[in-house]
Amino acid sequence: MIRNILVFLHRWIGLSMAGFLVVVGLTGSLLAFDKELERVFAAKLYAAPRPGVPPLDLATLMERAPAIPNARVAGATWNGVDQAGINYQPEIDPATKKPYELGFNQFFVDPWTGAELGRRTRGDISEGMINFMPFVLKLHDALLVRGAGTLILGIVAVFWTLDCFNGFYLTLPVSLTGFWRKWKAAWLIKRGAGAYRLNFDLHRASGLWLWPILLVFAWSSVMFNLRPVYDWTMSKLMEHHSMLDDLRAMMEKPRRAANAAPTLELRAGLETAQRLAEEQARKNGRPAPDQPTTFAYIDKMGVYFYVARSSGDAHDGFLEENPTLVILDGDTGAPVDLPLLAAGTTTRDLIDRWLGALHMAHVFGLPYKIFVCALGLVIAMLSATGVYIWWKKRKARRFRKTQAVSLGKPLEAAVID
């Protein structure tokens, strides 16, 4: 009886998730090589390499940034050795009291000259293939709709996680007699079988062999899309306080006032942030960060954000150390403490980072990227084979019912059959 209920749940949960998992599987397969494919579809956004020539520093790039009507420079980012970005903050339209529309939210420059490479509205596929990979990412993590799409995928991820355990249980033999001999068949694909048996074996065997990593991807999807459920569950399994507690603590602090324009100009803010980052690294016994990645002014909080890494943080494909994060008051340059954004070294932080890195193929180099790319296709295949198995069984049940009625079998018995 219990097994029948679990089969019913596996069937209908799988059917309800199938379309979503096909989408996230196929898009995830592409996103395993996100950076590489971005260079293919948006090649014009990358500068020609100049070996031996040092790039400009972030401060100089911000100073050389072209003037944009109704906007001011608010920061810069390193996107790689051959690409940098300038952050523009739109000014407020006095007529509407709303920010001006700039027509873009990403602006790319040559790291060696500061010349514009291109601009785009991230994820807007109407701008052409230059936005293909951002569009794929937007489809993958939010079904193109922030908020509602994220919530839907979070709910799907919860059911996917639960169904991982249910599906594993259903592969186990019903009887303990000859358990290992019977279970061995579940791990194999029978050669020369018909289409139905091939689909069934692919569905069952692939799910078994890849079960641990499928669970990792399902649960990390909950972490990304439905964080309260993830935090609550982890807190029941281990010492893992909810991220919501950090958010509440942050909200209890006096709210920082918005400030459209800081008193501390960009170069001075960057130099102050770099000095504080070096002090922070020395205090923690780490190499001084020498690879700045982001410097930006956040007008809604009146602070500068500075993020940098040390070239000594790389671990040959394994999980990298957290970057150094410095937050400055935009007027005084004094450090600002925002606990929610501070890089932690707790068990929770380590688990979260590993789940995120495994999900996004940010560890183990090229071999793992290839594996994740293939895994995305397998996830889509598992959904497709599951639908095919259901359709064939449904077709067979309808045939048996039709045969029973034509042979004069009582209708009640035919329906039960």
Q: What DSSP assignment string belongs to 264-298? A: S-HHHHHHHHHHHHHHHHHHTT-PPP-EEEEEEEE
**Contact call for residues 14 and 383 (beta carbons, < 8 A):** yes
My answer on whether 155 and 224 are in the same domain is yes
pLDDT value at residue 343: 45
Residue where a domain stops, chosen among 286, 319, 335: 335
pLDDT value at residue 116: 96
- Strands, E, within 81-221: which ranges? 83-90, 92-93, 98-99, 106-109, 116-120
Residues 6 or more apart in contact with residue 218 via CB below 8 angstroms: 157, 160, 161, 164
* Inside any domain, residue 122: no
What is the number of structural domains in the chain? 2
My answer on whether 153 and 271 are in the same domain is no
pLDDT value at residue 410: 56
321 closest CA partner among 281, 294, 359, 283: 281
My answer on whether 265 and 294 are in the same domain is yes
pLDDT value at residue 248: 65
My answer on whether 236 and 154 are in the same domain is yes
* Inside any domain, residue 16: yes
* Inside any domain, residue 264: yes
* Inside any domain, residue 280: yes
Residue where a domain stops, chosen among 295, 318, 335: 335
Phi-psi region of 80 (alpha: psi -120 to 50; beta: other; left: phi over 0): left
* Inside any domain, residue 248: no
Instruction: Determine how β-strand 116-120 pairs with β-strand 291-298.
Output: unpaired
My answer on whether 26 and 72 are in the same domain is no
* Inside any domain, residue 351: no
My answer on whether 60 and 24 are in the same domain is no
Tokens 């002090």 found at: 279
pLDDT value at residue 127: 96
My answer on whether 228 and 372 are in the same domain is yes
Distance, in Å, from the CA atom of 18 to the CA atom of 166, rounded to the nearest integer, reads 16
Record the pTM.
0.88
Residue where a domain stops, chosen among 335, 352, 373: 335
Q: Render each residue's pLDDT in the chain as its tens digit; 417 residues.
A: 799 999 999 999 999 999 999 999 999 999 999 999 999 999 999 999 898 899 999 999 999 999 999 999 999 999 888 999 999 999 999 999 899 999 999 999 999 999 999 999 999 999 999 999 999 999 999 999 999 999 999 999 999 999 999 999 999 999 889 999 999 999 999 888 889 999 999 999 999 999 999 999 999 999 999 999 998 899 888 876 666 666 666 666 666 778 888 999 999 999 999 999 998 888 877 888 888 899 999 998 899 999 998 876 555 567 777 788 899 999 999 998 765 554 455 677 888 899 999 999 999 999 999 999 999 999 999 999 999 999 998 888 887 778 766 666 554 444 443
* Inside any domain, residue 202: yes
My answer on whether 28 and 147 are in the same domain is yes
My answer on whether 15 and 63 are in the same domain is no
180: containing domain: 2-32+142-241+365-406
My answer on whether 268 and 309 are in the same domain is yes
* Inside any domain, residue 341: no
My answer on whether 317 and 382 are in the same domain is no
My answer on whether 101 and 172 are in the same domain is no
